[in-house]
């Protein structure tokens, strides 16, 4: 993986391929390349490092041609270098690939027995050589279909052919792939974002689909090799917002957009006149609902953890949570009265999409909470609840996480009302608190200067620990994840009550320990756990909504967030831990928007 672009046009395409690859940089990558067709030759250029390096190569040695493919790679098979960068070309075919070919070793051995020579360490080159072999006896479409039948794993492919100068073939299994339409020009892309500067008309390939693009035509085939039609989506104008404005990077912009995200999300779901939540058409009748199963990966899993507390607190429904990569391999006990909720920022997360597919094959009712309503997960779900966060470019999720939490809270509240698990005055009070949430988030952002001072404490630390209880425990996990993602410092999140069962062994003089302690029923217990840390020399950074300043000479820094509905405290406590990770990374001169080794849309297992 990580990003694909293809353009079939009536004019040179290399500049537009480069510009589109730059739009895919937000996913995270380690190398880049492109291949164009010109004068009956495949012209391949690639490099390790950033797209800017590829652009320099093209400046010195341009690639002409009205048809081409490009790629930014996030290494899976083979180290990041020029040889392993995509495209992978033979004399007659060139391929870019997102995903993983699980049986590549077996296929490689068979190809080598036939005399094929491999240049790279990648699994992708297997695809190139298989198609090359098939082209000896078949046309491009048949050659690709025959190749796909031999592949195990996930893929999105872009393929060009030396002897067929006017077509690009795209194919998909597991990894997302979109096509875009324009006059005298058509496009292939691993997501719609890469295509937005060129078109707002998009179709999406489903698993098993293949497409054939020329400059004035797109044909689609299903996995039975029959021609099919695809729905054309029109992207909304607000999805074209990708300017950093006056911010240094996208992540800082997205952190400070969170009051707007919250306001947009709340306004979408709450009818101000009726003072009610306008969520309807549940795929499972709320009164009959047996269990809610929440499934996600990474930050999305943390939002599921928080939601478990909310559903349990507000409703009498049994709740289960699972990491998508674990869910899909467990022996599952399905129930037709369960609602399976899949949370994903991109809506393309491979493990989450695969878990959804398992549920669909077992005729379960599904709901997706996503930021991209045209995504695979959204399109395959029975019911979609968008988070309305707008484009999120920074790899480390901030405003999308906040949006996920808000939608999950609103959903739990609506279910509680329908099932009569909550009385009307309490319901009205929660809605009232939601309406003032954006203002409270704005106040949280004003802690930035103090958080900036806290960040200096991490520069010489060999690690850190985040502690919380109840609703604050998932925020401790998220705080540790953000610090790891952005600053590359080791960090762990723990339930504060678990300190005595092992983690105390890690506490030593000067170790930064972030204690997340809203004034809830766990507050005094959390303070007791904090004293355990203090007694062993830990350096306390305290985050709370407690109205009184906690005076303790062992607390190095104290950050106060507004006091609101205790159930909403995770949303407010999230902001300082995002700012902390951001400012530690700034001090360490890390790449904020594109952390090393990470991708925005994780489309492999």
**Can you give the pLDDT at residue 493?**
94
The single residue of 46, 482, 560, 600 carrying the catalytic annotation is: 600
pLDDT in tens, 255-268: 999 999 999 999 98
Whether residue 601 is contained in a domain is answered as no
Same domain, 436 and 492: no
Lowest-pLDDT range, 22-31, 115-124, 387-396, 595-604?
A: 595-604
For the domain that residue 259 is a member of, what is the CATH number?
Answer: 3.40.50.10490
Residue range(s) defining the domain that contains residue 509: 448-587
- Report the distance separating Cα 21 and Cα 43, nearest Å: 17
At which of 240, 270, 297 does a domain end? 240
Cβ neighbours of 596 (radius 10 Å): 11
What is the per-residue burial (b if ≥16 Cβ within 10 Å, else e) of 527-560? bebbebbbebebbbbbbbbbeeebeeeebbbbbb
Q: Where are the alpha helices (DSSP H) in 191-343?
A: 250-256, 258-269, 298-314, 324-327
Report field, pTM of the whole predicted structure over 0.75: yes
> What pLDDT is stored for residue 304 in this prediction?
97
Q: Tell me which residue has tokens 């070919």.
A: 101
How large is the average pLDDT for residues 227-254? 79
Q: Which two tokens stand for residue 492?
A: 């762990």
Residue 155 sits in the same domain as residue 106: yes
Residues 235 and 89 in one domain: yes
For residues 57-66, average pLDDT? 90
Average pLDDT over residues 113-137: 90
Percent of the chain whose pLDDT exceeds 90: 62
Name the average pLDDT for the chain: 90
Q: Does residue 593 form part of some domain?
A: no
Check if the beta carbon of residue 326 is closer than 8 Å to that of residue 373: no
Residue 480 inside a domain? The answer is yes
* Number of independent structural domains in the chain: 3
Q: With bands split at pLDDT 50, 70 and 90, how would you rate the model's confidence at 501?
A: confident
For residue 294, the tally of other CB atoms under 10 A from its CB is 25
550 and 405 assigned to the same domain: no
User: Residue 55's domain is classified under what CATH number?
Assistant: 3.60.20.10
Q: What is the mean pLDDT of residues 516-524?
A: 92
Which of these ranges, 339-348, 543-552, 565-574, has the smallest mean pLDDT? 543-552
Q: Are 513 and 534 part of one and the same domain?
A: yes
> If you average pLDDT over residues 431-442, what whole number do you get?
95
Q: 440 and 453, same structural domain?
A: no
Residue 548: pLDDT over 80: no
Average pLDDT of 482-505? 89
Among 16-25, 196-205, 299-308, the range with the most confident prediction by mean pLDDT is: 299-308
Per-residue pLDDT tens for 1-38?
Answer: 578 999 999 999 999 999 888 877 766 678 889 999 98
Instruction: Please state the rounded mean pLDDT for residues 399-410.
Output: 96
CA 33 from chain centre, in angstroms, equals: 23
Domain membership flag for residue 235: yes
209/303 same-domain check: no
Residues 390 and 407 in one domain: yes
Q: Is 514 a residue whose pLDDT tops 90?
A: yes
Whether residue 240 is predicted with pLDDT greater than 50 in this model: the reply is: no
Same domain assignment for residues 383 and 256: yes
Is 592 inside any structural domain?
no
Is-catalytic flag, 2? Answer: yes
Widest pairwise Cα distance in the chain: 80
Report the pLDDT averaged over residues 343-369.
93
Which has more confidence, 449 or 372? Answer: 449
pLDDT band of residue 239 (cuts 50, 70, 90) is very low
Asked which of 189, 221, 240 is the last residue of a domain, the reply is 240
**Exposed (0-12), middle (13-18) or buried (19+): which is 239, by Cβ within 10 Å?**
middle
Which of 2, 211, 304, 367 is flagged as catalytic? 2
Does 297 participate in catalysis according to the annotation?
A: no
Cα–Cα distance measured from residue 448 to residue 28, given in angstroms and rounded to the nearest whole number:
26
Closest CA to 503 of 528, 474, 538, 459: 538
**598 domain-assigned:** no
The residue written with tokens 């077509």 in the block is 167
pLDDT at 82: 83
What confidence score (pLDDT) does residue 179 get?
Answer: 95
- What average pLDDT does the segment 161-180 reach? 91
Shared-domain flag, residues 184 and 275: no
H or E element in which residue 322 lies? strand 318-323
Q: Is 423 exposed, middle or buried (0-12, 13-18, 19+ CB in 10 A)?
A: exposed
- The arithmetic mean of pLDDT across residues 77-104, rounded, is 87
Residue from 465, 491, 485 nearest 590 by CA:
485
Q: Do residues 292 and 317 make contact, with C-beta atoms less than 8 angstroms apart?
A: yes
Q: Are residues 337 and 420 in the same domain?
A: yes
| Unique residue bearing structure tokens 């937000």 | 26
- CA–CA distance, 343 with 574 (Å, rounded to integer): 18
pLDDT at residue 237, as a whole number: 60
In a domain, 16, yes or no: yes
Q: Is residue 596 part of a domain?
A: no
Residues 279 and 151 in one domain: no
User: Which domain-ending residue is among 445, 460, 486?
Assistant: 445
Q: Is the pLDDT of residue 603 over 60?
A: no
HEC string of 170-210 equals EEEEECCCEEEEECCEEEEECCHHHHCCCCCEEEECCCCCE
Picking from 83-92, 133-142, 442-451, which range would have the lowest pLDDT averaged per residue? 83-92
């Amino acid at each position: 993986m990580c990003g694909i672009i293809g353009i079939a046009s009536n004019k040179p395409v290399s500049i537009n391929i480069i510009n589109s690859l730059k739009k895919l940089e937000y996913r995270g990558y380690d190398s880049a390349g492109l291949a164009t067709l010109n004068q009956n030759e495949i012209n391949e250029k690639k490099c390790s490092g950033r797209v800017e390096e590829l652009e320099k190569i093209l400046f010195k040695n341009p690639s002409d041609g009205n048809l081409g493919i490009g790629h930014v790679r996030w290494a899976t098979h083979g180290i990041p270098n020029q040889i392993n960068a995509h495209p992978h070309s033979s004399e007659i075919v060139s391929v870019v690939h997102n995903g993983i070919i699980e049986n590549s070793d077996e296929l490689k051995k068979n190809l080598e027995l036939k005399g094929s020579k491999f240049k790279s360490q990648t699994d992708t080159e297997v695809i190139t050589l298989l198609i090359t072999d098939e082209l000896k006896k078949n046309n491009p479409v048949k050659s690709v279909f025959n190749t796909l039948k031999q592949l195990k794993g996930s893929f999105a492919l872009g393929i060009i052919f030396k002897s067929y100068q006017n077509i690009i073939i795209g194919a998909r299994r597991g990894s997302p792939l979109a096509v875009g339409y324009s006059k005298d020009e058509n496009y292939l892309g691993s997501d719609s974002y890469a295509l937005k500067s060129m078109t707002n008309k998009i179709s999406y390939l489903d698993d098993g689909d293949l497409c054939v693009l020329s400059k004035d035509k797109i044909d689609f085939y299903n996995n039975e090799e029959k021609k099919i039609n695809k729905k054309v989506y029109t992207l909304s104008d607000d999805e074209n917002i990708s300017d950093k404005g006056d911010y240094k990077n996208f992540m800082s912009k997205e952190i400070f957009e969170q009051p707007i995200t919250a306001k947009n999300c709340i306004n979408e779901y709450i009818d101000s006149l009726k003072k009610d939540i306008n969520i309807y058409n549940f795929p499972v009748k709320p009164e009959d609902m047996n269990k809610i199963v929440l499934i996600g990966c990474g930050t999305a899993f943390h939002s599921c953890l928080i939601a478990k507390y909310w559903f349990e607190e507000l409703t009498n429904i049994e709740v289960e949570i699972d990491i998508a990569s674990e869910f899909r391999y467990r022996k599952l006990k399905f129930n037709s009265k369960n609602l399976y909720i899949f949370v994903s920022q991109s809506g393309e997360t491979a493990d989450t999409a695969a878990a959804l597919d398992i549920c669909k094959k077992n005729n379960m009712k599904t709901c997706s909470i996503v930021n991209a309503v045209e995504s695979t997960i959204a399109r395959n779900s029975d019911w979609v609840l968008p988070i309305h966060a707008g484009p999120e470019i920074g790899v480390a999720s901030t405003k999308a996480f906040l949006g996920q939490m808000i939608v999950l809270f609103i959903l739990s509240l609506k279910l509680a009302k329908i099932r009569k698990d909550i009385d009307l005055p309490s319901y009205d009070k929660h809605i009232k608190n939601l309406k003032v949430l954006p203002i409270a988030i704005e106040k949280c952002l004003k802690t930035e200067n103090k958080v900036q001072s806290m960040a200096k404490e991490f520069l010489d630390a060999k690690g850190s620990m985040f502690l919380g209880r109840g609703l604050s425990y998932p925020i401790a996990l998220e705080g540790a994840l953000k610090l790891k993602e952005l600053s590359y410092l080791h960090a762990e999140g723990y339930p504060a009550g678990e300190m005595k069962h092992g983690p105390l062994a890690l506490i030593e003089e000067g170790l930064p320990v972030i204690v997340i302690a809203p004034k809830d029923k766990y507050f005094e217990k959390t303070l007791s756990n904090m004293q355990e840390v203090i007694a062993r020399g830990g350096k306390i950074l305290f985050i709370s909504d407690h109205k009184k300043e906690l005076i303790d000479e062992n607390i190095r820094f104290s950050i106060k967030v507004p006091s609101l509905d205790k159930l909403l405290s995770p949303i407010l406590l999230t902001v300082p831990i995002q700012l902390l990770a951001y400012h530690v990374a700034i001090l360490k001169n890390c790449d904020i928007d594109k952390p090393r080794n990470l991708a925005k849309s994780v489309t492999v297992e």
